[in-house]
Structure 1
Amino acid sequence: MYYNGIYHLFYQYNPKGAVWGNIVWAHSVSKDMVNWEALEPAIYPSESFDINGCWSGSATVLPENKPVIFYTGIDPNQYQVQNYAVPENLSDPYLRKWVKPADNPIVVADETMNKTAFRDPTTAWKIGGHWRMVVASRRKQRGMAYLYRSRDFRKWIKAKHPLHSVPNTGMFECADFFPVSLSGDTGLDNSAFGPNVKHVLKVSLDLTRYEYYTIGSYFPEARDKYVVGKGFVDGWNGLRFDYGNFYASKTFFDPSKNRRILWGWTNESDAAQDDAQKGWAGLQAIPRKVWLDPSGKQLLQWPIEEIETLRGQNVQLSNQELKSGEHIEVKGITAAQVDVDITFSIPNLDKAEPFDPSWTNAQDLCGLKGSTVQGGVGPFGLLTLASEKLEEYTPVFFRVFTGLYKHVVLLCSDSGRLITRWWRVSGLGEKHASLLEYIHW
């Protein structure tokens, strides 16, 4: 959250080791989301309603400029209950101390619900006289996003109908529900609503360990339901923020620059023993600004502008012509991390392969059309992490296809750890059109 000029990042943390367990709410603060100072944990097990764990949740800044944390506590019965915490001293700019009022828990699962699969309350939003929040859950193998309402932010009542549910997905985790503007890249406060607004529902899937999102319409006055937009896949093959190791993401509205910021957890894939030897097992990915694509069919994202302050030596290469099978080495880069800004220009797209409408999964198509499979236009791109004689490298590459009405651009990585995304590019139907794409990472 952003509060009085300070960004606050709360995250699940084990202070006793690099494996899961002993979870507390760690707390770091920053003025630019680049340089961070770690503080003592904000929340840790101490009361009957969270004695067995303080799990994920969200922060909400109330209109009176008072922040509140919602989080999932594990009680003595191992039930998951929803609690809240407030700052002990609002005059402390870092909000180091948080207290848990005596009226916790504020939300418990009723007898019709799964009390051991009920967690991760969202940031709240207010429309009319009621606050609302979502708690993720499951009913058998159906993912559930339960909706709760409150007038005073303390007494919460479950709505008659869930905000949304999807069969055969398994447990929803870390649900996120937020508005996006139909025009421009300006972010919106969680309570924004109106004719120029769509809503996004993101869920993390416990079964698959990846997450997906949909874009749709929210009807607060008509049963308080979220309706997925036409054409969106609402399930395991839906849109993702990231096709790499990216999970448990959450967004927040940054009022200082009117933008929505996405944070995601990148966890290691090593064995627990290796993690223990390293002393760490996960990190927070670079924060990203997110907004709605003008087509309305997906979200766009970009590293926050503050990341550019980390740039050091600038290496430039321009006006290079490459023929099929050729490559050019970019010299002068010695850092382990590089920010690449690149433009490819294609003389024409006459030889682009036809796009098969049955190709609905970009990741599967990247496996079918690998970096060594020659196409009509592509593959072209970058060989990263390359050895001197190219015995080893990680290719990041494009292909261009001819669709029914417009060209389709596929971006892949053979490593399976980088982005895999579709771009449906308009304005490429002319015989001598040029393709311009920018990639940052």
Structure 2
Amino acid sequence: MVPASLTKFSSVKIFSFMLILIYFLFSPLCFAEEPIIIADFESEDYGAWQSEGDAFGEGPAEGTLPGQMEVTGFQGQRLVNSFNGGDEATGSLTSPQFEVKRPYISFLIGGGGYEGKTCINLLSGGEVVRTAEGTNTQAGGSEQLMWDSWNVRDLQGEMVKIQIVDSRTGGWGHINVDHIIQTSIERKVVHNKQREFEFTSKYLNFPVKNGAAKRWIRLYIYGEKVREFDIRLAPSDPDFWVYLDVSEFAGKTGTLEIDRYSTQWQTGFDAVFQAETFPGQDNLYQEKRRPQFHFTSRRGWVNDTNGMVYHNGKYHLFYQHNPYGWNWGNMTWGHAVSTDLVHWEEWGDAIHPDQMGTIFSGSAVVEHDKSSSAGSEDESKCFVGINSLANEKNSSGFRTGSEEPIVAFYTSAGNNSPWSRGVPFTQSIAYSNDGGRTFTKYEGNPIIGEIAGGTRDPKVFWHDSTGRWVMVLWIENDKFSIFTSDNLINWRIQSDIKGFFECPEMFELPVDGDPSNTKWVVYGAAGDYKLGDFNGTEFTPETGKIKFQHGKNFYASQTFNNIPDSDGRRIQMGWGRGIDMPDMPFNQMILFPVSLTLHTTEQGVRMFKNPVKEISKLHNRHWDWQSQEVSTGENPLSDVSGELFRIKAVLEPRGADKVEFVIRGTPVTYDVSSEQLTCLGSSAPVSLKNGKLTLEILADRMSIEIFAQNGRYYMPIGADLTENPKSLELCSEGGNAFVESMDVYTLKSIWTSE
């Protein structure tokens, strides 16, 4: 039995010990001296500060300056911002002398990250004794200011000055500074902070805050860098979470590193955690603005379609992907597959950035055992590759088993990350022997070295007549170049094509379905095309550029290679450029796949585009009308309600001035007198054929795609319909119109099993 006096004594001792412990743990916070403000820059001028040059203007800036990205993270209404006149302006700003009275001088800083050129300096006796620069050197960075501090204990009692310097011109040639204070507590950005993980789960999860400063994350496995990307880590409450799939490193120990870490963050780098799932996975594909029959990635930004190829019963869709943010960046090849062109399964990222650069657009082929029928090439042509020719069977040497490999061609976009700084743009290969599950980068990369500053986007296909592989590559300005190869590795330049910008595409199509009458199609990222002849080395155009689409949300499309002869279709998918998904953990979408055909018109041969027939797999409820007059003020679709629609109609305006579908509150209007089809500011010059207007319209949550006159005219339109009524209208204005036939379908989501 313990004596009561001893129990009381022990309790007192324990209580006293706890008080002492709390004091030592928290006294820096509780008893810290009040900060001394050196400058908060809230006045209209700089007061006693001396300004030289033209970079800093007449006084502190009220936030963002003309031509500048949005500046955030400063306190109050004003800050020092040397973007006056843009990045070409230079100058300095120097404070009066003051006495160092606290252990730290802290400040908010952003802008250019160039040591000694875009910086803040502490001067003692005219010499720089402390310095710090901004955070950015690469395009696409953030203008957010972050805390930094100098430890000045050894300078306490001395008289010093602050000098803010902008001596750089060109990109990020400016500096942002605010709220310079003397403090007892360090407010600091820690450089190259690390955390160690033993990988036992599938994902590393990262919190993201749109608008936060970009930070560089690096992952090392046993000292070897395997990933590097920028991310807007959330300093407090995240907008959403993204993930890095680390399943390939299972059982290994990895070191995660961040280039700059703020001691003021509440979450950020310290919140990264490992798990078999990612936050938000339980609501995946059901988010408010998630398109329901257009492909979008689970997380992050999507742009150009890449590497589209059919292989062993699967359509492979690769795409430009930023897995770690809502905006463009960290270009990686995302990957999804489908057996029907409608339902897609995301397989995860296929090709990751490396020391040669981020992974820009390209194409993919299936390497069949093909034999060349054209003999040796003219040795006077430029020999671009660096390896000797391989055998015709498995000529590349990539195949390791019985399955024909998928070979991907992409641009190694050097100088797009610290990992590849100073490295040029080149062309590279990765290949897969397991049906696209994993890819191996060719150890001899690059297969084509630097040609011009941004040469990119190799499109590769097999040319039957000459028995060779053909590559079309954007070089610079409006020039494509054609290369040929016997083995996918060694490439010879053959000729040029003028008139197109980036993302080349080239293929052959029959005219009016006649296999004995074909033309070759060439187009660039915008989709406008030329028709002509191709002999395996040179394209001879027979037309000028012909407009492909009339919307405002189409770019960087590609068609599938290796479609079986029994199918024979030329199937295209493009990027729904500029269709933003606000407040979502993903952004942008891929347009619905279309089948391309050539048909003779009164203006010559033209390319038509129509939704692939597989869309019928999504049909749900169905309404149809035949031979019905539509009077002014009448709406035959008044009983139709739904979220997702496919509409097919053959209309005769007859006495009407206008005929209009109103799709969930958004009008699609045909004006008879001007022969213009319009929707949300886009228009197409559509003439009636035998007095008839044929329309097919696909309406998803975030888009309306319009196909007129059996696909001759195509209008992809971004439209946020999520808050709109779930109604349809067909209206006639100025007179009665006539419905020859009309079918309306509500559509099922591709993300559900129903």
1:184 lines up with 2:551 in the alignment = no
Alignment of 1:70-89 (within 5 A): 70-75=409-414, 76=420, 77-87=422-432, 89=433
Alignment of 1:151-166 (within 5 A): 151-159=486-494, 161-162=495-496, 164-166=497-499
- The residue that corresponds to 1:382 in the other structure is 661
- The residue that corresponds to 1:407 in the other structure is none
1:99 lines up with 2:440 in the alignment = yes
1:53 lines up with 2:358 in the alignment = yes
Assess if the C-alpha contact under 8 Å between 1:40 and 1:96 holds in 2: no
1:132 lines up with 2:389 in the alignment = no
Give the deviation of 1:303 after TM superposition. 0.7
Q: Which amino acid aligns with 2:490?
A: K
Q: Secondary structure at the match of 2:431?
A: strand
Return closer, same or farther for 1:282/1:70 CA change in 2, 3 Å cut-off: same
Which residue, 281, 284, 289 being the options, matches 2:590?
284
1:37 lines up with 2:358 in the alignment = no
Q: Which amino acid aligns with 2:436?
A: L
Gaps of 5+ in 2: 1-308, 370-403, 415-419, 699-754
Q: Which amino acid aligns with 2:584?
A: K
1:420 lines up with 2:684 in the alignment = yes
1:240 lines up with 2:577 in the alignment = no
Give the deviation of 1:381 after TM superposition. 3.4
Q: Which amino acid aligns with 2:509?
A: V
Q: Secondary structure at the match of 2:616?
A: helix
Give the deviation of 1:41 after TM superposition. 1.1
Q: Secondary structure at the match of 1:307?
A: helix
1:341 lines up with 2:648 in the alignment = yes
Q: Which deviates more, 172-181 or 290-299?
A: 290-299
1:211 lines up with 2:527 in the alignment = yes
Q: Secondary structure at the match of 1:196?
A: strand
Assess if the C-alpha contact under 8 Å between 1:267 and 1:283 holds in 2: yes
Assess if the C-alpha contact under 8 Å between 2:406 and 2:436 holds in 1: no
Give the deviation of 1:377 after TM superposition. 6.5
Answer with 1 or 2: which has the greater Rg: 2
Return closer, same or farther for 1:397/1:424 CA change in 2, 3 Å cut-off: closer
Alignment of 1:248-397 (within 5 A): 248-253=556-561, 254-255=563-564, 257-270=567-580, 275=582, 277-295=583-601, 296-323=604-631, 325-345=632-652, 378-386=657-665, 393-397=666-670
1:211-235 C-alpha deviation (Å, 9 max, x unpaired) = 3112222243xxx3323224x3x3x
Assess if the C-alpha contact under 8 Å between 2:511 and 2:605 holds in 1: no
Return closer, same or farther for 1:146/1:423 CA change in 2, 3 Å cut-off: farther
| Distance in 2 of aligned mates of 1:330 and 1:306 | 25
Q: Secondary structure at the match of 2:627?
A: coil
Return closer, same or farther for 1:217/1:32 CA change in 2, 3 Å cut-off: same
1:88-127 C-alpha deviation (Å, 9 max, x unpaired) = x33xxx42100011111111234xxx2x221100032324
Q: Secondary structure at the match of 1:84?
A: strand
1:331-379 C-alpha deviation (Å, 9 max, x unpaired) = 23322221101121356xxxxxxxxxxxxxxxxxxxxxxxxxxxx8742
1:146 lines up with 2:505 in the alignment = no
Q: Secondary structure at the match of 1:290?
A: strand
Assess if the C-alpha contact under 8 Å between 2:579 and 2:589 holds in 1: no
Assess if the C-alpha contact under 8 Å between 1:317 and 1:330 holds in 2: no
| Distance in 1 of aligned mates of 2:539 and 2:688 | 26
Q: Which amino acid aligns with 1:71?
A: Y
What is the aligned-residue RMSD (CA, Å)?
Answer: 2.5
Gaps of 5+ in 1: 187-194, 205-209, 348-375, 387-392, 402-409, 429-433
Q: Percent of counterpart pairs with the same letter? A: 26
| Distance in 2 of aligned mates of 1:203 and 1:378 | 37
Return closer, same or farther for 1:400/1:439 CA change in 2, 3 Å cut-off: farther
| Distance in 2 of aligned mates of 1:335 and 1:377 | 27
Q: Which amino acid aligns with 2:407?
A: V
Assess if the C-alpha contact under 8 Å between 1:214 and 1:239 holds in 2: no
Give the deviation of 1:263 after TM superposition. 0.2
Return closer, same or farther for 1:396/1:336 CA change in 2, 3 Å cut-off: farther
Return closer, same or farther for 1:56/1:321 CA change in 2, 3 Å cut-off: same
1:200 lines up with 2:521 in the alignment = yes
Return closer, same or farther for 1:327/1:117 CA change in 2, 3 Å cut-off: farther
Assess if the C-alpha contact under 8 Å between 1:185 and 1:292 holds in 2: no
Q: Secondary structure at the match of 1:158?
A: strand
Give the deviation of 1:424 after TM superposition. 7.5
Give the deviation of 1:200 after TM superposition. 0.7
- The residue that corresponds to 1:117 in the other structure is 454
Q: Secondary structure at the match of 1:297?
A: strand
Return closer, same or farther for 1:400/1:3 CA change in 2, 3 Å cut-off: farther
Return closer, same or farther for 1:106/1:242 CA change in 2, 3 Å cut-off: farther
Assess if the C-alpha contact under 8 Å between 1:315 and 1:332 holds in 2: no
| Distance in 1 of aligned mates of 2:623 and 2:512 | 35
- The residue that corresponds to 1:368 in the other structure is none
**Matched residue pairs, number?**
345
Return closer, same or farther for 1:130/1:258 CA change in 2, 3 Å cut-off: closer
| Distance in 2 of aligned mates of 1:145 and 1:268 | 25
1:356-409 C-alpha deviation (Å, 9 max, x unpaired) = xxxxxxxxxxxxxxxxxxxx87422323233xxxxxx423325377xxxxxxxx
